[in-house]
Amino acid sequence: MLAEHGVERGLIGPREVDRLWERHVLNSAVIGERVGDGVRVVDVGSGAGLPGIPLAIARPDLSVTLVEPMARRVAWLDEVVETLALSSVTVLRGRAEEPSVRSRVAGADVVTARAVAPLAKLCGWCLPLLRTGGVLVALKGASAAEEIDRDRQAIGRLGGGAPRVESCGDAVLEVPTTVVVVERVKSAGGRDRSGRTRKDQDAHRG
C-alpha cells in the first residue's frame, strides 16, 4: 500500500519507492529483536506507519498503539490497519506530550520512534509514556553515538538510564538498523525504582 499510494499522499518521497522494502519496511520490522514477547508498544510520530506497522506485522503477539498528530496521516493509518486486519493495532491522534495522550498510553513497556526528533527532546516526550523499567527504542543513523554524548546528562535528568547504541537485523539487512535504547529508571522528578528521590537516598546514606 505504501509503495502504491505513499508518494501521492505525501507519506514518502518519490526516490524512496525503489528502496522502500529494505530501507523502510525491513528496517522497521527488525527492531522486534529488541522487544520482548507480548508487550505493549507505543509508536510515537508514526507518520506513514513506520516502524509501528511493520513491527506489528512481524510480531503479532504485540499490542501496538500508533500515535500521530496529523489528520491525513491518521486517516492513512486507519485505512492500513483496517485493510490488513491488524486487530492488535490502535491508532490514536495526538502528540506524545499531550496530557490526553499520556493518560491513554501511560505505562507502556516499549516506546518506538523513527526520525522524530533529537534524542533529548525525544526522551522528554517518550519516557513519561513508559512504565519504570520500560524502554525507548529510537531508530537512529550514523550520528547515534554523537547524540548520546551530547544529550546524556539531559536524558538522566528526564529519568532515563545510560543510553546505548544497538544494531538490529544484521542477518537480513545489508545495512543493519541502528537504534538507541534508553530505559526509564525513574521519573523526571528524580524518583528511582524504589520510589525514593535522590535527596532521600543522600539522607539515607548519611
- Spans of all domains in the chain: 2-205
96 annotated as belonging to a binding site for a ligand:
yes
3-state secondary structure of 105: helix
CATH class of segment(s) 2-205: alpha beta
Over residues 83-89, the mean pLDDT reads 96
Q: Which residue has the cell 508518494?
A: 7
Pick the more confident residue, 4 or 29. 29
To which H or E segment does residue 196 belong? Answer: none
Instruction: Report the C-alpha gap between 63 and 74 in whole angstroms.
Output: 18
Q: Is 93 annotated as a binding residue?
A: no
What is the C-alpha to C-alpha distance for residues 192 and 187, in angstroms, rounded to an integer? 7
Span 148-155, average pLDDT = 96
- Over range 101-115, report the average pLDDT: 95
Residue 58: which pLDDT band, with cuts at 50, 70 and 90? Answer: very high
Model pLDDT, residue 191: 55
97 labelled binding-site residue: yes
Over residues 145-152, mean pLDDT = 95
On whether the CB atoms of residues 128 and 189 are closer than 8 A, the answer is: no
